[in-house]
Structure 1
């Protein structure tokens, strides 16, 4: 029985340590208009929402607009100062939040203070970042693991290049688990004989 518990614990640990990394960059939403607005954005299995009341909660400046912080591409702007923007998986499962690029809403080099909240289902941790008064995007690294949701609130801003990962077992993990279970099955058969 002890061997079964050890194998099971090892399998759970192995499954939880492998992750599938991705960067959400919004480039598929780049356009040539002055700006476009959204209620929410669904991409890469994640949902991004804002809690303001307007139908234009989130927006994207035109890819060549002077306000676009990711020139030629797309960064999302928060249209209402003081509103809360959140990111979570559509299926509400755990993920790792590595980093995010942030700039001021009009790409003018304004400073802003933004508070992040990280939820793991049982507790919440907080971190505040301050923009550096430079045009363009600034990368903020958080390395928060096993969270169910991240939200941020502060001055109007733009965000892009959200670096996240989700737990995904790799084929080698499945092979090791299979070998371990086969070994347990053989040991059990020998013990019964």
Structure 2
């Protein structure tokens, strides 16, 4: 009986990882001032940092400021052009990086080139994004899995709505789980027969 409960608990935990998606939207940072500065931002178990030296490395325009790309809410801007911004889990575990919304720093529709680096603990891959020269946020989809950190560098920009999730177990994990459940079911049938 204990084995059955343990196996069912493992199955529920493994299947729950499918519903573990999070959107980091920074709305908890919305304010009515012109702007506010941050050296580091923590949200939903993730830490966002910038490698520039000032305490004002990251900022948030006021919710109704003309520069705010997410009007009425909050998008974070990078205050130093050419500096590196990064996101990783506070507990340093793996995560999936699905998408991010980007805009130029002053929300003018200016072009911006941003180079992303995706770290998985063993190798690094790169992708470059060029903003579409429109005002407001532009969603960039990456669908990168099993990462330890994501960083980006380039023109000053704003970012928001970072879509992340926990890694989904490999198919082999589900196969082993299924075989274990099947073995328990067979053992129970033999015991009652």
TM-score norm. by structure 2 comes to: 0.81
CA distance in 2, matches of 1:128, 1:65: 29
Is this contact kept in 2: 1:45–1:90, CA < 8 A? yes
Which residue number in structure 2 is paired with residue 51 of structure 1? Answer: 51
1:4 matched residue in structure 2 = none
Q: Report if aligned partners of 2:145, 2:167 keep a CA contact under 8 Å in 1.
A: no
How many positions carry a matched residue from both structures? 173
Q: Which residue of 2 aligns with 1:66?
A: 66
Give 2:143's aligned residue: 143
2:102 matches 1:107: no
Query: Do 1:69 and 1:137's aligned partners in 2 also have CA atoms closer than 8 Å?
Result: yes
Structure 2 partner of 1:132: 132
* Aligned match of 2:121: 121
SS of alignment partner, residue 166 of structure 2: strand
Structural mapping, 1:27-42, within 5 Å: 27-42=27-42
What is the CA RMSD across the aligned residues, in angstroms? 2.8
1:8 corresponds in structure 2 to none
Structure 1 runs not aligned, ≥5 long: 1-10
Question: How high is the TM-score relative to the length of structure 1?
Answer: 0.81
Q: How much does 1:18 deviate?
A: 3.3
Residue deviations 1:25-80 (CA, integer Å, cap 9, x gap): 00011000000000000010000000000000000000000000000000000000
Q: 1:183, CA displacement in angstroms? A: 3.3
1:164 aligned partner: 164
Displaced runs of 4 or more, over 2 A: 14-19, 176-179, 181-184
Deviations 1:84-108 (A, max 9, x none): 0000000000000000000000010
- Contact in 1 for aligned 2:23/2:163 (Cα 8 Å): yes
Task: Provide the rounded CA distance (Å) in 1 between the counterparts of 2:182 and 2:84.
Answer: 50
